[in-house]
Copies of this chain bind each other. A is one copy, B any other.
């Protein structure tokens, strides 16, 4: 159960030592990621390792000032990619059926599954990781910086490196809420969330010496009670995704 325990103790790392990652290690980690399951063998993932310091600085800034994008041992942008397979389809005499929402779902889930398999590999080696959803603050700029063709979109970034901090594990909703049997039965969910709110309040208070008094419910109000990245649909459609 050693590895299960490791996965259960995941936390994001946002501060890294200067110790470099060898290319061999990076290749092993990315290979482990891309060996994960892929829908119909599409392999709808392209990983772009960003080495150029200016590009990393630009991405750190557009992601909302996440400086660890610049300082992590390695930084990657994980892309959902239908471009490669569409080209192959056409070279083989087919006509790519562009814009299917289903194709976007398979490429996006392929990409997330591969990334998390790479993350599991990295964490098993003692590395720390942080996903960077903030790249979707300005996906058009990321597309320009990385010269992404149509049918490719940047799903998230990923920082990888040797941890230089040891943050607490953030509690999760109880399984009684998130794991259901046979049907979406909401009995007990409200009570489960109330318990979780109490736990999260304690977590934040402890972590900030009493300064931060927050609950999950309040966080969800902030997160979902307003528009979020309203440019995404237009951006994705413009890249050729999910137009039908």
Contact = CB atoms under 8 A, between A and B. Distances in A.
Contacts of A165: none
A105 B7 CA distance: 23
Interface in A15-39: 27-37, 39
A53 to B, nearest CB: 11
Contacts of A47: 178-180
Contacts of A51: 181-182
Given A36-B7, A147-B184, A183-B146, A27 B175 contact: yes
Contacts of A147: 183-185
A31 B175 CA distance: 7
A162 interface: no
A126 B85 CA distance: 33
A121 B184 contact: no
B36 A116 contact: yes
A1 B39 contact: no
Nearest to A48: B180
A57 interface: no
A94 B225 contact: yes
Nearest to A38: B172
Interface string A96-108: 1100111101101
Interface in A108-136: 108-109, 111-113, 115-117, 119-121, 124-125, 129-131, 133, 136
Interface in A192-244: 193, 216-230, 232-233, 236, 242, 244
Given A220-B42, A233-B244, A156 B109 contact: yes
A183 B100 CA distance: 26
A50 interface: yes
Contact of A91 (B101, B179, B217): B217
Which 9 A-B residue pairs are closest in the complex by CB-CB distance? Answer: A94-B225, A112-B112, A94-B221, A102-B229, A116-B116, A7-B32, A3-B124, A92-B221, A101-B233
